């Protein structure tokens, strides 16, 4: 069973980005989650290409890029060139989801699709076979440090049924409000990758926190 922690850079100390990347390199986290926000799809603005390129220079882990931007199809190629190894787009932002996912696949990147907590999981039917991963948001995209939405567990069950039907190799990722308490429950529920921002970067001992989440 795949069990991966993807710490979200959004909660890192941007004044010490190199040190934060080196800390992640030393950790048991296999991925690093990069939240790109445009102030349009979500009310918040995070960072873009220059930060991502700096991270690529120092981070040895798989770069897991979560685009919270409108018209993502305009930028996916640049994100792949900037070092994204897995690139996730929001269904809510796609005019022609099947076409965009196909175009992303052709770029040679692993493709993810995600939905906010208010979008029915059933809307992913017919798309799961076109992606490597589905990210179910467990908070509304936009900010770190929000509370985990408990309804996520029933949404995971719904998603698992679709994955069984359409693409048994598809990975499941959860993002938002993940901590050392709910991490084991989420892995037990069949989640493969957990994104954790504040729980990791604001912890006294991030390396130990990551290990605890994996236990
Ligand atoms: C929210 C982002 C998350 C965020 C998670 O829009 O997609 O990746 O950084 O932060 P925590 O783990 O603090 O909820
Ligand atoms: Zn994210």
Q: How far is the CA of 197 from the centre of ligand 1 (A)?
A: 5
Nearest ligand to the C-alpha atom of residue 112: 2
CB of 199 closer than 6 angstroms to any ligand 1 atom: yes
Decide whether any atom of ligand 1 lies within 6 Å of the 180 Cβ. no
Is residue 176 a contact partner of residue 195, using CB atoms and an 8 Å limit? yes
Determine how β-strand 62-68 pairs with β-strand 171-175: unpaired
| CA 34 to ligand 1 centroid distance, Å | 10
- pLDDT score recorded for residue 9: 98
List per-residue pLDDT tens for the chain, 215 residues long.
899 999 999 999 999 999 999 999 999 999 999 999 999 999 999 999 999 999 999 999 999 999 999 999 999 999 999 999 999 999 999 999 999 999 999 999 999 999 999 999 999 999 999 999 999 999 999 999 999 999 999 999 999 999 999 999 999 999 999 999 999 999 999 999 999 999 999 999 999 999 999 99
pLDDT at 62: 98
Q: Establish whether residue 177 lines the binding site of ligand 1, counting it when its CB lies within 6 angstroms of any ligand atom.
A: yes
Best substitution site from 6, 112, 136, 197 to test ligand 1's pocket, by max atoms within 8 Å of Cβ?
Answer: 197
> Rounded distance, CA 200 to CA 27, Å?
11
Q: Is 35 a catalytic residue?
A: yes
Name which of 133, 152, 148 is nearest 196 in CA terms.
Answer: 148
pTM of the model: 0.98
The residues facing 136 across adjacent strands are: 115, 174
Say if ligand 1 is within 6 A of residue 197 CB. yes
| Bridge pairing between strands 110-115 and 4-7 | unpaired
Atom of ligand 1 at shortest distance to CA of 8?
Answer: 9
Taken in order of first residue, the domains within the chain and their CATH numbers are 4-214 (3.20.20.70)
Predicted confidence at residue 1, as pLDDT, reads 85
Concatenated DSSP letters of 129-144 = GG-SEEEEESS-TT-S
Given this model, what pLDDT does residue 164 score? Answer: 98
**Distance in Å, CA 8 to ligand 2 centroid:** 7
Distances (CA, A) of 196 to 9, 39, 93, 120, 193: 9, 22, 23, 23, 10
What's the confidence (pLDDT) of residue 59?
98
Instruction: Determine whether the shortest distance from the Cβ of 112 to ligand 1 is under 6 A.
Output: no
For residue 148, which ligand has an atom nearest its CA? 1
Q: What is the pLDDT of residues 104-142, one digit of tens each?
A: 999 999 999 999 999 999 999 999 999 999 999 999 999
Cβ–ligand 1 contact at 195 (below 6 Å): yes
Task: Name the token pair of 186.
Answer: 């989420």
CA of 206 to the centre of ligand 1 (A): 16
The predicted structure's pLDDT at residue 82: 97
Active site annotation includes 13: no
């Amino acid at each position: 069973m795949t069990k991966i922690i993807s710490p979200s850079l959004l909660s890192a100390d941007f004044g010490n980005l190199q040190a934060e990347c080196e800390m992640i390199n030393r950790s048991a986290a296999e991925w690093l989650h990069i939240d790109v926000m445009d102030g349009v799809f979500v009310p918040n603005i995070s960072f873009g290409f220059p930060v991502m390129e700096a991270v690529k220079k120092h981070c040895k882990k798989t770069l897991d890029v979560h685009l919270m931007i409108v018209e993502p199809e305009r930028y996916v190629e640049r994100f792949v060139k900037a070092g994204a190894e897995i690139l996730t787009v929001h269904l809510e932002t796609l005019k022609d989801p099947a076409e965009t996912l196909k175009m992303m696949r052709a770029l040679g990147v692993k493709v993810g699709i995600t939905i906010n907590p208010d979008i029915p999981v059933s809307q992913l039917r017919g798309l799961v076979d076109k992606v490597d991963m589905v990210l179910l948001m467990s908070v509304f995209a936009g900010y770190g440090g929000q509370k985990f939405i408990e309804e996520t567990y029933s949404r995971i069950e719904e998603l698992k049924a679709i994955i069984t039907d359409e693409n048994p190799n598809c990975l499941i990722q959860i993002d938002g409000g993940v901590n050392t308490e709910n991490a084991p429950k989420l892995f037990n529920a069949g989640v493969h990758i957990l994104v954790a921002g504040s729980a990791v970067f604001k912890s006294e001992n991030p390396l130990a926190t990551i290990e605890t989440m994996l236990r």
